Structure 1
Amino acid sequence: MLPTDDADALDWLAFEQAGILTTGQATRLLSEGAVRGRIRSGRWRSICRGIVLTGNGRLTRDQHLWVAVLATGPGAVLAGVTAAAEAGVRGLRREPLHVLVPAARRAARTTLRRLPIDMPAVLVHRTSILPRAHVQRARPPRTTTARALVDAAGWAAGVDEAQALLAAGCQQRRVLPEELGAMLDVLPRAPRRRLIRQTVDDITGGAQALSEINFLRLCRRHRLPAPDLQEHRVDAAGRNRWLDAYWREWRVQAEIDGAHHMDARQWAADMRRQNDIWTSGDRILRFPAWLVRARPEEVADAVRRALIAAGWTPELTPGRTRA
């Protein structure tokens, strides 16, 4: 609730920080005795050493974020998937909370080990590069979306998760591939830097989903010609379509189907579209996204046979392959 016109500095600070204060902030506005009295009476709640809630209920999501930043200490900002989620990237894990601190100072790890049961775990990361331009003006402070996604990809549990994070941010239009590339330029020691650069290049080339990124990786690994991605077409009904992968020279298409293609109405639409493609003279291959990931050799073999049937001769086109 917005404070009234006659609210004092304490009310405004509590409003701006979702009711979470450091004891230092509180004692600058109240005496130490007054702060202790409010905690003993139950009006306020002690969250952990140095952090209080100006209330006595369970913590909300916003309060979790403020506790994570304030308990970690000066200069701390939300980072990684936590910052990306706050910037609007959907489908990311909400826990644990990720916080970034300058390498020159130590985080209050003892305090973070004593967080209450209604508070998610907080993971603290350190960096020697955190210029003001990398910090979003938000409450609580967080890294920019580009920095958040580059960090999140470096901290991810595996390669697929790292690539999925980058693809999600670009596909949802929360960040541009060029912004991710520029961020990498100023983070020379970023974990998985080479993978992130390759993924950004793939996204710039048209791959908008993890399944398409995996498909490009498959083509490189099996020395297949590199397809054009998200090729624009107008179908027989006059509707705009974008092909997942297209080898123009041999008129071969590959579609990477997600789970939504199992829907009956989508399935019927896919069949009509496939018929339009065949009657236009193109060959079309369709693969479920899980097959591209789980059985890449099977997918590569099907693509190779289709291209050879369409006139591709592998040994005569080395310039069109990617190592």
Structure 2
Amino acid sequence: MHRSTRLPVEDVLAVGQPRRTMPSRSIVDAAQWAGTDEEARAIVAAAFQQRLVGGDDLHRVIARAPRIRRRRLILETATDAVGGAHSLAELDFLGLVRRAGLPEPSRQTVRRDSTGRRRYLDAYFQEWRVHVEVDGAHHLDPAHAWADMRRQNALWMEGDRVLRFPAWALRHHPAEVVTQVRAALRAAGWPG
């Protein structure tokens, strides 16, 4: 438990006892108190993924609090999360793309599958019809892997290119990931 003597009324939940902070303030506080920057990024990304916060919620909290630890990190992560990077691996991928000078993909692009269900694509370079999916450990489960394969096959049948990377490859083989993304974009007509 943490206590604060200076809480703007906008940061206090108006109902229930004991008094507590609004989700957006709680997320900012948790990110500041995290043991590492990576943990702070994970807290912010998870809050957006779970729809606990959205839009400019965290930006407004930080604007009211001048002495926020990790201010820049939280703001950058929140901005990327609003744009659709909802996991550490997706944030890592976005960082790789930016550092490599590749075009910035749209994130969490909605597509309908053959049954009409909404599906979210992690990263999509729309002009070149190149998708990138970042897979966490749960993608290794056979049923989940088969669902991923069916979705990938449907995209390929429509003429799109799909690249898949396990989250660990983004951290341990970033150059190889960038090389493959660059090659796919060039094969699809990107002049870069």
State if a TM-score over 0.5 links the two structures: yes
Distance 1:188 1:101, change over 3 A: closer
Distance 1:168 1:225, change over 3 A: same
Identity %: 50
Which amino acid in 2 is paired with 1:100?
R
Instruction: Report SS of the residue matched to 1:245.
Output: strand
Distance 1:301 1:282 in 2: 19
Matched residue count: 191
User: Does the 8 Å CA contact 1:253/1:282 hold for their aligned counterparts?
Assistant: yes
Distance 1:210 1:313 in 2: 29
Aligned with residue 157 of structure 1, among 35, 48, 57:
35
Instruction: Report SS of the residue matched to 2:51.
Output: coil
Aligned with residue 220 of structure 1, among 89, 98, 118:
98
Distance 1:182 1:133 in 2: 10
Instruction: Report SS of the residue matched to 1:302.
Output: helix
CA shift for structure 1 position 162: 0.7
Distance 1:177 1:150 in 2: 14
Q: TM-score of the superposition, structure 2-length normalised?
A: 0.90
Which amino acid in 1 is paired with 2:123?
A
- Indicate the residue corresponding to 2:164 in structure 1: 286
Distance 1:207 1:100 in 2: 31
Aligned with residue 256 of structure 1, among 134, 138, 143:
134
User: Does the 8 Å CA contact 1:215/1:292 hold for their aligned counterparts?
Assistant: yes
Distance 1:155 1:227 in 2: 31
Q: TM-score of the superposition, structure 1-length normalised?
A: 0.56
Distance 1:174 1:238 in 2: 27
Instruction: Report SS of the residue matched to 1:136.
Output: coil
Distance 1:291 1:131 in 2: 43
1:193 equivalent to 2:71? Answer yes
- Indicate the residue corresponding to 2:185 in structure 1: 307
User: Does the 8 Å CA contact 1:232/1:242 hold for their aligned counterparts?
Assistant: yes
CA shift for structure 1 position 189: 2.3
- Indicate the residue corresponding to 2:54 in structure 1: 176
> Any idea what the Cα deviations from partners look like across 1:41-71, whole Å, max 9, x if unmatched?
xxxxxxxxxxxxxxxxxxxxxxxxxxxxxxx
- Indicate the residue corresponding to 1:99 in structure 2: 2
- Indicate the residue corresponding to 1:41 in structure 2: none
Structure (1 or 2) with the greater helix fraction: 2
- Indicate the residue corresponding to 2:23 in structure 1: 145
Structure 2: runs of 5+ lacking an equivalent: none
CA shift for structure 1 position 237: 3.8
- Indicate the residue corresponding to 2:9 in structure 1: 132
Which amino acid in 2 is paired with 1:295?
H
Distance 2:169 2:26 in 1: 30
Structure 1: runs of 5+ lacking an equivalent: 1-97, 103-128, 315-323
Distance 1:257 1:284 in 2: 13
User: Does the 8 Å CA contact 1:231/1:245 hold for their aligned counterparts?
Assistant: yes
CA shift for structure 1 position 178: 1.8
User: Does the 8 Å CA contact 1:153/1:163 hold for their aligned counterparts?
Assistant: yes
User: Does the 8 Å CA contact 1:177/1:203 hold for their aligned counterparts?
Assistant: no
CA shift for structure 1 position 231: 0.9
Q: Which has the larger radius of gyration?
A: 1
Which amino acid in 1 is paired with 2:82?
T
> Any idea what the Cα deviations from partners look like across 1:239-295, whole Å, max 9, x if unmatched?
322111100111100001122211111111222222211121111100112222333
CA shift for structure 1 position 182: 0.8
RMSD of equivalent CA atoms: 1.7
